[in-house]
Structure 1
C-alpha cells in the first residue's frame, strides 16, 4: 500500500501544521461500488457491492478538553468545532461535518455515554463527492470507528455496520445499510453478497477475464439534499402496505416489500405476478391510498409518511415494486452465474447489469440523461454490461469490460464522453478508472 503510506505521511504533516501536534492513530474506511442490486437494501433485499480503493482517511488525536475539532484537507470544506457533549446534526444543510457527527453520535448513543472526550481530527477523502461511490457513508463509518477507538471500546464489524447504518439516518436519509456494511465487511479480492436481518456477508468471486470500470457522469447527486431518495423509500413502503392488504395480511405492521414475500412464502417471480394483479400503473393519490387502506389523510400523514414526504401528492407504487422484485431476482442470478462460472459468464452477467439499468431508468426513474448517455457510450466501446450505480440522479456508472479490451475502452470512453463534452479537467483525472475489490475499514497506529 505505498500510495496509502504516502497519504498517511502527508496527512501527518498537515495535522501537525493545523493542530501543532501529532496524531495518535489513523482510521480508513473505503467507498464502494454496487455491482448490482440498486435501491433494494432498504426494502430488505440482498445486494452485491465491492469496496473500491478510494477511501476516507482520518488522523486523530484525543484531547483532554470536551471539544471536537474537525478539519478537512479539502479547502472547500470549512473547519468545524463543537462540544463533544452537545452534538447537533443539521438536517436542513447536509454539510460535510454532519456526516462525521452521525458516526460520533451513533457510538455515543449505543453505549449510552453522556460525557465524551474531545478530539482533533483531520479528514482526507479521495472518493469523489456525490458520485454514487458512497463518500458520505464512508465518512460516517470512519467517524464511528474513530469514536470507538478513542473510547477504547470494541464491537464486531457487523455491530459497527448496523450502528453506522442507523446513525446515518440522523441526517435525514432513509438508507438501507448496504454502504456501511461493505465499508466494514469488505475483503480484498472479493465482492460480497450482503444480506439483512440478520446482517451477513458472503464472498462472491467475480470472473477472472473481466474488470469493472467506474465512470463518473460528473453530475453531482446529493441524497440528503433532495427528496427523490426519500420519496422512493416511501413509495416502496406504501406499495408493501397495499400489496399486504390485497393479500389479506396485517398491512399496518408491514414496512418493506421483502416482508410481503416472506409472509406469503412465495418466490420473487410470483411476487411480480402479485404486483401485476394488485397495483395499477397510474400514480396513486393520497386519497386513493387512504381509501384502500381504510385510514384518514391525517393518519397517512402522521403515522406512515415521513416529514420529508408529507407534501407529496402522488406515489408510483406499481413501478417501484416491479423494480424491487425484479432487481432482487437479478442479484441472486448474478451470484449464481459467478458460482457456476459457465463459459459465457461475462456475457450473462453483463446482460443482468443492462437489465438493471433499464429497470432503474424506466421503473425506478433514478437515472438522468448524462448517465444514460454514458451507459450507451460504455456499451458501444465494448462493455458487456453497464449501469448506473449508487442512488442515481447523477454519480457514476459501473461497466463490465473484458480485460483484453480495457485499454481501448478507457481511451474511447474518455474521448467520447469527457473530451467531447468538455468536462472539467480536474474532474476528468478521477472520473474513469478500473477497480478491483478492496479491503474494509482499518485502524493504523503509525504513519
Structure 2
C-alpha cells in the first residue's frame, strides 16, 4: 500500500496561519532519498549513488527578528522554541517529545554563523519515521533552504549540504556522512546522483526504471531504527580504527584489499574493510551499467551489496533479509537493505510485469512469520529540494 500523498502547499500555509496567527512567507520542500547502492561508504570518503524520492518534508516559514526559532510539526503535535544563539542541542538533554526539533533548531544554529536568524516554522512530512528514507536530512534541508531565503543568504547547494551535515553531527550528535543531505539538495528527476563524498563533486547518472520495463520498489519493513544509538557509531569507529591501523586517511584509500586484510588481526575490522572497499567498486560498476542502459543487470550488484551488508558489515535485520529473499524468489532481479541498517527499508528491482507477484511474495513471507505487513512505495527518481510557494 502506498503512503498518503503530501498535502498541497496551500493547506500547509493555512495550517501555518492557524498556528502562528499570520501567513507564511513561503513553503519549501525537500525529498527523502533512497541510496541505490553505496552503503556505509559516505563517512569513509567513498562513493554513493542516491536518488530523490517523490515524498519528503515541507516547511512553511516566516522570518522572526528576535533571534528565536519556533518550530511546530503537524505530526509531532508539540511546539519547541529555542534561541538560534544557543549551544549544541545534544548537550541540552531535550526530552523525548522534543527530540525531533533538534534537527531544524540545529540547522538554525549552524546557519546563524552565515547570517540567518530566527523564524517560525511549521513542518509536515509524508515520509515514514524510522524507515531509513532520510526524513531527518529532508527536514534539515527544507529548513536550511527556508532560512536562507527568508534572510537573503546565498549558499551554494554543495556547501549547504555540508552545513546541514554539520548540524546533524554537532547539534544532534549523529555521526552521519554527507550523502543524505547532498541527495536531498542536489538530485534531479530521472537521475541518480554519483557523489564523491571526499571531494563533494557529483555527477547526474541516467536512472529511469520505467524506460527499461522495470520498477524499483521501496519496501518499508516496518522495523523501525534509530541511528543515534550505539550500533551505527560503533561501525564508524571500527572503520576509523581500521583506517588508522592501515595508515590511510580513510578506507576509500585502500587500494590492495588482499594486503589490507592480511595486515589486520581483528576479524571484525577485516570484515568492515572488505565491505567498504568492495562496495565502492560496486558503485562504480553500477554507474557503468546505468550509463550503458543495462539497468536489469543492476540486480546482481544489489544482491552482492546486501550480502556484504549482512555478512561483512553486519547491519542487516531479519525483515530486510526476508524481503530480498522473497523478492528474488518471485522473479525480482535483485534487492538490498538501504540506509544505516538495524531496521528501516529495503529496495527491490523487478520487471514491471512481475511487480505484483513480488509484492505478494514479500507480503506472504511476512505473514508466515507473524510480522506486521510491509508498506510498498514505487520510487521514480524525483526533484531535489526546492521552494514550492
Q: For residue 86 of structure 1, give the secondary structure of its aligned residue in structure 2.
A: coil
Tell me the equivalent position of 2:269: 317
Q: Identify if the C-alpha distance between structure 1 residues 87 and 20 changes in structure 2 by more than 3 Å, giving closer, same or farther.
A: farther
Q: Check conservation: 1:239, 1:317, Cα contact below 8 A.
A: yes
Q: Check conservation: 2:24, 2:62, Cα contact below 8 A.
A: yes
Tell me the equivalent position of 1:338: 290
Tell me the equivalent position of 2:231: 228
2:43 equivalent to 1:58: no
Q: For residue 127 of structure 1, give the secondary structure of its aligned residue in structure 2.
A: coil
Tell me the equivalent position of 1:247: none
Alpha-carbon separation, structure 1, partners of 2:226 and 2:371:
23
> Aligned-pair distance for 1:5?
8.2
Residues 139-158 of structure 1: pairs in structure 2 closer than 5 A: 139-158=139-158
Alpha-carbon separation, structure 1, partners of 2:90 and 2:168:
12
Tell me the equivalent position of 2:351: 402
Measured against aligned partners, the alpha-carbon deviations of 1:274-299 in whole angstroms (never above 9, x if no partner) come to 222211353xxxxxxxxxxxxxxxxx
> Aligned-pair distance for 1:419?
8.7
Alpha-carbon separation, structure 1, partners of 2:65 and 2:204:
42
Alpha-carbon separation, structure 1, partners of 2:214 and 2:178:
28
2:324 equivalent to 1:371: no
> Aligned-pair distance for 1:4?
7.5
Alpha-carbon separation, structure 1, partners of 2:220 and 2:367:
10
Q: Check conservation: 2:138, 2:184, Cα contact below 8 A.
A: yes
Aligned residues: 378
Q: Check conservation: 1:132, 1:221, Cα contact below 8 A.
A: yes
TM-score, normalisation: structure 2: 0.91
1:97 to 95, 101, 107: 101
Q: Check conservation: 1:377, 1:417, Cα contact below 8 A.
A: no
Q: Check conservation: 2:47, 2:194, Cα contact below 8 A.
A: yes
Measured against aligned partners, the alpha-carbon deviations of 1:75-103 in whole angstroms (never above 9, x if no partner) come to x4521112233354135567100011222
Residues 332-341 or 45-54, more deviating: 332-341
Q: For residue 440 of structure 1, give the secondary structure of its aligned residue in structure 2.
A: coil
> Aligned-pair distance for 1:377?
1.7
1:273 to 258, 262, 267: 258
2:85 equivalent to 1:85: yes
TM-score, normalisation: structure 1: 0.80
Tell me the equivalent position of 2:176: 175
Measured against aligned partners, the alpha-carbon deviations of 1:259-314 in whole angstroms (never above 9, x if no partner) come to 4x3xxxx4xxxx211222211353xxxxxxxxxxxxxxxxxxxxxxxxxxxxxxxx
Q: Check conservation: 2:84, 2:105, Cα contact below 8 A.
A: no
Q: Identify if the C-alpha distance between structure 1 residues 228 and 257 changes in structure 2 by more than 3 Å, giving closer, same or farther.
A: same
Residues 226-235 or 413-422, more deviating: 413-422
2:309 equivalent to 1:360: yes
Q: For residue 216 of structure 1, give the secondary structure of its aligned residue in structure 2.
A: strand
Q: Check conservation: 2:217, 2:348, Cα contact below 8 A.
A: yes
Tell me the equivalent position of 2:221: 217
Measured against aligned partners, the alpha-carbon deviations of 1:118-147 in whole angstroms (never above 9, x if no partner) come to 321100011111111101111111221122
Alpha-carbon separation, structure 1, partners of 2:306 and 2:77:
33
Alpha-carbon separation, structure 1, partners of 2:292 and 2:88:
50
> Aligned-pair distance for 1:421?
3.1
Alpha-carbon separation, structure 2, partners of 1:5 and 1:96:
19
Q: Check conservation: 2:320, 2:337, Cα contact below 8 A.
A: yes
Q: Identify if the C-alpha distance between structure 1 residues 362 and 441 changes in structure 2 by more than 3 Å, giving closer, same or farther.
A: same
2:360 equivalent to 1:443: no
Q: Identify if the C-alpha distance between structure 1 residues 4 and 21 changes in structure 2 by more than 3 Å, giving closer, same or farther.
A: farther
Alpha-carbon separation, structure 2, partners of 1:77 and 1:273:
53
Q: Identify if the C-alpha distance between structure 1 residues 6 and 221 changes in structure 2 by more than 3 Å, giving closer, same or farther.
A: closer
Unmatched runs of 5 consecutive residues or more in structure 1: 245-253, 283-315
Q: Check conservation: 1:237, 1:256, Cα contact below 8 A.
A: yes
| 4+ long deviations beyond 6 Å | none
Measured against aligned partners, the alpha-carbon deviations of 1:358-413 in whole angstroms (never above 9, x if no partner) come to 11001101011222122212222222111000001000001111122123323443
Alpha-carbon separation, structure 2, partners of 1:422 and 1:389:
19
Alpha-carbon separation, structure 2, partners of 1:6 and 1:319:
44
